[in-house]
Amino acid sequence: MSESQTPESRWFTYDIVAEDPTTHARAGVLHTPHGDIPTPIFMPVGTKATVKGILPSQLERLGAKIILANTYHLANRPGEDLVAEMGGLHEFMRWRGPILTDSGGFQVFSHGEFTRLTNDGVEFRTVDYDGQHVFWTPEKNMEIAQKLGADIVMQLDQCPGYPSPRPFVERAVELSSMWAERCFRAHTRTDQALFGIVQGGMDLDLRLRSLRHLEECGDFPGYGIGGYSVGEDHETMFESLAPLASEYMPKGKPRYLMGVGNPTTLVHGVECGIDMFDCVLPTRTARMGSAFSSEGRLNFRNARFTHDHGPIDPDCTCPVCTGGYTRAYIHHLVKQKEMVGSILLSLHNVYYLLELMRRARQAIVEHRYGQFVSEWDQLPAAKDW
């Protein structure tokens, strides 16, 4: 093993099994200690060690292969030491498959005026919990991540919003790069993969600068792409994301587009070579009474569903759509703010994105992903952003 290689690189390998001839889409398998992950994949988000409204056994039946949890929130409640005492996240939340934890950096920097940034780390107030002052260094962040025990963890980084002045984005790239190197040195758990994160806003040259810094740090088993879906429109995102993913990201490593989850962005993300996605969108929109569907986004607060005998989506094979639950019933639950409405819509929405990625993968394997994208773009379902 060379000096730049990590011990975990023996645990976490990525095999590309098919590449589409007309796009940059690829199908692969990411191997982890808790199971193999077929890509492209959507990863449901369980911020506080639970995907809201869905049991782990239900997620498994829906076809989820990997789920997320959040370092910031779990460090606050119940605390990383308690999670470690309980056997780590897998035992704590009773999920048998792979888990990814993000660094919590996005949540920290969303505190705005309650955040103070230095080269050493970030000081912040936990205003959404007990208001205490906390100082995170990259080393502290890695300590927390290793105690939580997920299969994949992310470096501590700074995620600039959109729009941001170029000097601010440049500074975020520099800081994230320094922190990546420190995270790389501090991370010692060999049954856990540490991914670096490419930042740089909407500027491709800054994205490439960030990527070069990460590659110089060492042999990261995979790469996150952060700082998208932070206020920009769909077209602006892909101006830099498409060339970054298709031309410059390392071919033999998984590419994870962080925090993106609307169906059309997933379809076009796969087209330019993205392998992994996550977002709270399917469960968050469910709690607002909305569903993904072949007709586009449906709002079940709308009175037009009052007497509708049909399923959420007649083209969907999820347990809700095939289980006899009518649009009229969902409408009633949503209007009455019954939790079962949110649960049923969450089950449907998570399944919808998992199934979309299963279909995408099959299209790549069959060398027809270009056709898949063209057909998707003509569907009512595509108008979802």
pLDDT at res. 236:
97
Contact (CB, 8 A) for 89 and 101: yes
What token pair was written down for 232? 């920009």
Question: Could you state, in order of their start, the residue ranges of all structural domains in the chain?
Answer: 15-110+136-286, 288-380
Q: Which residues are annotated as a binding site for substrate?
A: 102-106, 157, 199, 227
Q: Which residues are annotated as a binding site?
A: 102-106, 157, 199, 227, 316, 318, 321, 348
Instruction: Check if 203 is active-site.
Output: no
- Ranges under pLDDT 50 in the chain: 1-4
pLDDT at res. 354:
98
pLDDT at res. 369:
99
> Which among 20, 151, 278, 313 is annotated as catalytic?
278
Instruction: Check if 102 is active-site.
Output: yes
pLDDT at res. 385:
63
Structure letter (DSSP) for residue 163: S
| Cα separations in angstroms, 317 against 276, 277, 377 | 23, 22, 21
Q: Which residues are annotated as a binding site for Zn(2+)?
A: 316, 318, 321, 348
Q: What is the DSSP string of 263-283?
A: HHHHHHHHHTT--EEEESHHH
pLDDT at res. 9:
59
- The dihedrals phi and psi of 300, each to the nearest 5 degrees, come to -80, 5
> Which among 20, 102, 275, 313 is annotated as catalytic?
102
What CATH number does the domain located at 15-110+136-286 have?
A: 3.20.20.105
Residues in a beta bridge with 67: 99
Distance from C-alpha of 282 to C-alpha of 297, rounded to nearest angstrom: 11
Q: ∠ at Cα 349 (348, 353), nearest 5°?
A: 115
pTM: 0.96
